[in-house]
Amino acid sequence: MFKKADSAMDFPRMEQEILEAWREEEIFEKSVAQRESGPRFVFYEGPPTANGLPHPGHVLTRAMKDVVLRYKTMNGYHVPRKAGWDTHGLPVELEVEKQLGISGKPEIEKYGVEEFVQKCKESVFKYEGEWRRMSERLGFWIDMDDPYVTFHDSYIESVWWAIKTIWDKGLLYHGHKVVPYCPRCGTALSSHEVAQGYQDVEETSIFVRFRVRGQENVSLLAWTTTPWTLPSNVALAVLADDDYAYVQFNGETLIMAKDLVEPRLEGDYRILRVVHGSELVGMEYEPLYTYAEPEAPAYVVVEGDFVTLSEGTGIVHIAPAFGEDDMRVAQEHDLPVVQLVDAQGRFDERAHGLRGMFVKDADPLIIKDLEARGLLFEEMDYSHSYPFCWRCDTPLLYYARSSWFIRMSDMRDELLANNAKINWYPRHIQDGRFGNFLENVIDWAVSRERYWGTPLPIWVCEECGHEHAVGSVKELKSMAKSLPEHFELHRPYIDQAILACPQCGGDCRRVTEVMDCWFDSGSMPFAQWHYPFENADMFSEAFPADFITEAVDQTRGWFYTLLAISTLLFGRSPFENCVVLGLVLDEAGLKMSKSRGNVVDVWKLFNEHGADAVRWYLYTVNAPWNPTRFYEDGIVEAKRKFMGTLWNVYAFYVLYANIDEFDPSQYNVSYEDRPLIDRWLISRLSGLVGEVTDAMDAYDITQATRRIEEYVDDLSNWYVRRCRRRYWASEMTADKQAAYLTLHESLTAIARLIAPFTPFLAEEIFANLEPALGSVHLQDYPKADA
């Protein structure tokens, strides 16, 4: 006799019971262990940050990981699943600053770096329990008891080995460059971090008169979107080969690109004469501000190849401290660098009236001041996309800082060649979003002027300036003149390690920077094993990964740093198949955010509808790389349409089989002897297995689930509806036996087929219909007929 199939369909309660059984019988562990001799399928877990709560986007990511890993396991692959945690960097420091009620580096220094770093360490697993609970409830099978953790000394040591290897290749260098800089966090960011934080903003741009020296009432007209950089102006740039006009306009003479006169000037104007840009080069003008006393000749027109005629006036204001092109021009023409802004993005004491102000807040004051002095020509609203700090949402400044860089620009061709070998899902990521990013790759600013991170293992000699990269703890200890009492590969302890200079024997001290935390996570293919210091076999067995999947923002995050680091170290991509997931949005198609109050409560969904319903919805609603609207009604509908239909067929079978005390093991009706409709269903099922297998082998989860859904619909609305009377026959005729057997076989095959997708429902049905075989997750996946 079968267990009665509850018509109430209380899936959440059923799932809770199954979770308990899985735990008790260690089904996950067994499912992995029993395949140990099978071919290896390698999966890398992109490490989340456990100091933040999981959100609906993480439910999608974990559901997609799980379905592939379960599918491969049932197909005979050995699929170990090591969890990982991203524990360093700004995300953690920022949370601790908030928690302590402090903000910015001066306040951290005041609080004490050692205490601060301890707080960071304590906070990194704040929500680990919540992540565990969410993952388990969703049915995501992953080994969370033995995760890799990026702040462990063993992990850091592997990262040090990587840095030293890159150093030995001459690809790591120290440079003074204009870099995107977060004034609140007090550190430079890398281009891939910047790419994650663009927002559309409306700002005031201005046209400014630069009075030509020695010429009455003649001004060079320049345009800027960043008025706060004007006090640091040292030059104006023009295109040497283009025409510039002297224009008579409202009683004054303006100089600007000839082609831009007409679109810019409204009203009567008269072109007095036209000159080549090269004729303007060398022309001197009066500084707008005299805050700084430049060390070299300044306030002069120079040539600049980056000037465009698509916007502005064809004359570009140059502030070398705040722009890459500006810095290059300054170096070419020996212009001074005027830097009136401090590390927190505020004007320093030289800028009288602006002193202490955050630069962006000073814009209106500067505009007012220029207007009062007759130097403002025009104000204009300007909408553009501007980068913000991906962690703290502060507008970034382009800022001359010294920073450590990895010469990724030298690796461009190799990156592109390795990218070409990756199977991207969807395909267009390869040449589109990801390929474009690689085409334009610039050097990776890897150092952060912060506290909680992998310390950059470069020691510099105080005597002779020699720089040495340390690649292991052993090397560090062998070179040490003195070591900190508490030995740990973190600031501030590691900063106390003084090494003997291999050149002159002098004292070497560590540079103060830590590494970009994206370097940590990109190092996981080897650092998770503490390679090369141990586990060389584990590393080689699990490199490269067959499969990774994360959200689309990782094309500039983890996908990039994984590829970058493995290209540098091993000359190849560390992953072969990558499924790129779209954003998870609310019902109206808006991004979910705390401030909007539209974040869906996944626990409510789990508790009221169950994890299978959430999973099935995510798999079927659209291709996973498209944006997914995530809302309760959608999940209810998915549950009704698929799970409800399947459950009704299953309940029908159980009800009549129990009435007839039908035991499938006691009967055998060969296929040839079954009626046509039974043979049709069986052949339909075998076709389905082929379709699902083909789709899943191509990571096409949507196709696979939609085909299953169609089959279940046929099973219910075609087969059972037409065959109902066969089960009502009073005698156990051959026809009735065939009907029971066909339905039984179909339901158990479906249970196996859906096991990767809706693991709970599959388990419930299979356990009841095949009680002798044990968990469905220890079975083989149905094989398509050859």
- Which residue numbers are catalytic? 47, 86, 518, 554, 558, 591, 594
- Per CB under 5 A, the list member of 92, 301, 501, 654 interacting with Zn ion is 501
Query: Is residue 389 close enough to count as binding Zn ion by CB under 5 A?
Result: yes
Nearer of residues 425 and 518 to Zn ion, judged by Cβ? 518
Nearer to Zn ion, 91 or 759 (CB): 91
Distance CA 623, CA 638 (A): 15
The residue with tokens 């003195």 is 482
- Is 552 one of the binding residues for Zn ion (CB under 5 A)? no
Q: What gap in Å lies between CA 94 and CA 692, rounded to an integer?
A: 45
Q: What phi, psi does 727 have (nearest 5°)? A: -85, -10
The number of residues in the chain equals 786
Compare residues 501 and 542 and give the one whose CB is closer to Zn ion. 501
**Tokens 């007012």 appear where?**
368
Min CB(100)–Zn ion separation in Å: 17
**Using CB under 5 A, which of the segments 281-289, 441-449, 495-503, 566-574 binds Zn ion?**
495-503
- Measured from the CB atom, the residue of 133 and 466 that comes closer to Zn ion is 466
392: contact with Zn ion by CB under 5 A: yes
Give the contacts of 547 (CB within 8 A, at least 6 positions apart).
41, 42, 43, 68, 72, 575, 576, 577, 578, 579, 699
Alpha helices in 523-557 (DSSP H): 524-527, 536-541
The reply to whether 96 sits near Zn ion by the rule CB under 5 A is no
> Is 503 near Zn ion (CB under 5 A)?
yes
Tokens of 417: 């060649």
Q: Does 504 bind Zn ion (CB under 5 A)?
A: yes
Residue 460 beta carbon to Zn ion: minimum distance, rounded to whole angstroms = 9
- Is the sign of the CA dihedral 518, 524, 529, 531 positive or negative? negative
CB of 399: closest distance to Zn ion in angstroms? 13
Q: What is the full DSSP assignment across 336-368?
A: -----B-TTSBB-TTSGGGTT-BHHHHHHHHHH
Which of 234, 461 has the CB closer to Zn ion?
461
Return the number of other C-beta atoms located less than 10 Å from residue 500's C-beta.
Answer: 18
Indicate the residue among 312 and 395 with the shorter CB distance to Zn ion: 395
Q: Does 462 contact Zn ion by CB under 5 A?
A: no
How many residues contact Zn ion, by CB under 5 A?
14
DSSP annotation of 786:
-
The CA distance from 779 to 769, in Å, is 14
Residues 6+ apart with CB under 8 A from 11: 609, 610, 612, 613, 639, 643, 760, 761
For residue 465, the minimal CB distance to Zn ion (Å) is 7
Tokens linked to 136: 């388990």
Dmax over CA atoms of the chain, in Å, equals 115
User: Please, what is the minimum distance in Å from the beta carbon of residue 117 to Zn ion?
Assistant: 19
The footprint of Zn ion on residues 153-182 (CB under 5 A) is 182
Determine if 458 is a binding residue for Zn ion (CB under 5 A). Answer: no
Task: Give the range of 230-238, 465-473, 480-488, 718-726 binding Zn ion by CB under 5 A.
Answer: 465-473
Q: What is the DSSP letter of 45?
A: P
Closest CA to 158 of 437, 511, 407, 519: 519
- Is residue 464 involved in binding Zn ion (CB under 5 A)? yes
- Write the interaction track for Zn ion spanning residues 332-371; mark x where CB under 5 A is met and - where it is not: ----------------------------------------
* Cβ atoms of 232 and 416 closer than 8 Å: no
Q: How many CB atoms lie within 10 A of CB 20?
A: 10
Q: Single out the residue of 38, 426, 484, 506 in contact with Zn ion (rule: CB under 5 A).
A: 506
Listed ranges 108-116, 349-357, 388-396, 595-603: which one lies at the site for Zn ion (CB under 5 A): 388-396
Q: Which residues in the 393-452 window bind Zn ion by CB under 5 A?
A: 394
Q: How far is CA 425 from CA 428, 556, 701, in A?
A: 8, 16, 11
Smaller CB separation from Zn ion, 7 or 593 = 593
User: Rounded to the nearest whole angstrom, what is the least distance from the CB of residue 90 to Zn ion in the complex?
Assistant: 7
Site string for Zn ion, 180-199 (x = CB under 5 A): --x-xx--------------
Cβ of residue 155: shortest distance to Zn ion, in angstroms? 25
CB of 89 to Zn ion, least distance (A): 11
Query: Which residue's CB is nearer to Zn ion, number 147 or number 506?
Result: 506
Please tell me whether the peptide bond between 544 and the residue prior to it is cis, using omega within 30 degrees of 0. Answer: yes
Interacting residues with Zn ion (CB under 5 A): 182, 184-185, 389, 392, 394, 461, 463-464, 466, 501, 503-504, 506
